[in-house]
Amino acid sequence: MSELSPEMEREIREFVEQGKKLHAIKVYKEHVNSSLLEAKNAIEAMEKEAASKQPESAVVQSQSGCAGMLVLIATTFGVALGAIALLVA
């Protein structure tokens, strides 16, 4: 089994931060020549490490992003329907 170069570790950590866990596992497994289980465990350890370094407020913000987007879509849809109603009337 070989070790990750600093550049490859940085690239894999970026995949983890972007939520590309399966890709990170695949890249890790190929570069380290490890088993699938070892790669999965290593990536999950990186996830936990990244989560512990992230401030709690950032986690809350990322969870509220979907609700904000839904409100924006609903508002846009409502405005579009109102415009159509004015055109038809």
> How would you write the pLDDT of the chain (89 residues) with one tens digit per residue?
568 889 999 999 999 989 999 999 999 999 999 999 999 999 999 999 888 887 655 544 455 556 666 777 878 877 777 778 878 87
pLDDT of residue 53: 80
pLDDT of residue 85: 80
Please check whether residue 6 is in contact with residue 38, taking contact to mean a CB–CB distance below 8 angstroms: no
pLDDT of residue 41: 96
Global confidence as pTM: 0.58
Q: How far apart are CA 57 and CA 50, in angstroms?
A: 14
SS3 31: helix
